[in-house]
Chain A
């Protein structure tokens, strides 16, 4: 019984770790996307995302 609980706990910890790992990836991805639209310097990206940058009040120009 104790072994079973231990195994379950181990599994929960493991899935929690992998969930946190996946979430860290999602966080990184999200920051990358927002940075790309809101902050990236190249003029082409700036021009394409211009109205979005203003509407979301990202510092623009």
Chain B
């Protein structure tokens, strides 16, 4: 547990510094587009068409019958993106990242140091969480640990938690179009669990059959496929979105290698002092 906390805090803090110079500027940049983009219906030149569109939006967003009708998969997500999965007809993109829905704004950290502080805190907590999972896996595997082996473990974590989900759900910059949140979260969790289990079967087994089963587990989430948005074309420019996806994956790789090495080293050191 000490290993997990120490490694997690170290990796989380280091990551926060790296984030501050890599992904965060892109997020902030993307939010400029997200916030600056006018509501699509507001940009319509024809007042009649505009009214029609507003009515449609109004009904879709606030008419409870529509919202509860399972045949219409409507989603209104946190960044004020609203669209109809079935017809893909209208969407409204705008608002701030603070989830400003107009009706009631939830608390969010103010831009600047407060936001950075909360991001750092969230990074550290994530680091500790991932480190705890990693250390638990060290124990389950019942193998020797060292910094070097820890790096390999970290890379496995990177494969399970970043690479595999990224194939179906690439890292998103704010203001991207995406399918309904619950479906994506479920697929993400499924992909992570299947990839981790698949890798485990392939690494910690001698039986050929289980190796094949492991490989299948790696493939299944991608054969099923992640939920995709009904239409593409968010506010963020594609160049920015591409840059963000790359930065996010690179930073994740760094995070996992650092986490793996720190956890492995601390684990080995604690094991020697205890013995």
Contact = CB atoms under 8 A, between A and B. Distances in A.
Interface in B147-200: 161-162, 165-166, 169-174, 178, 181, 184-185, 187-188
A59 B108 contact: no
A46 B108 CA distance: 8
A61 B174 contact: yes
Contacts of B249: 57
A19 B139 contact: yes
B36 interface: no
B23 A55 contact: yes
A36 B122 CA distance: 9
A22 interface: yes
B133 interface: yes
Interface stretch (B39-47, B75-83, B205-213): B75-83
B126 A59 contact: no
B145 interface: no
A46 B99 contact: yes
Contacts of A59: 169, 172, 178, 181, 184-185, 187-188
Contacts of A52: 19, 119, 122-123, 126
Given A47-B109, A48-B118, A34 B130 contact: yes
A6 B218 CA distance: 41
A26 B136 contact: yes
Contacts of B121: 48
B132 interface: yes
Contacts of B166: 57
Interface of B: 1, 4, 19, 23-24, 27, 77-79, 81, 97-99, 106-109, 115, 118-119, 121-123, 125-126, 128-140, 142, 161-162, 165-166, 169-174, 178, 181, 184-185, 187-188, 244-245, 248-249, 251-252
Given A32-B129, A54-B27, A57-B248, 11 more contacts: A26-B135, A29-B129, A30-B129, A33-B132, A43-B107, A51-B27, A52-B19, A52-B126, A54-B171, A56-B162, A57-B245
Interface of A: 16, 19-20, 22-24, 26-27, 29-34, 36-39, 42-44, 46-61
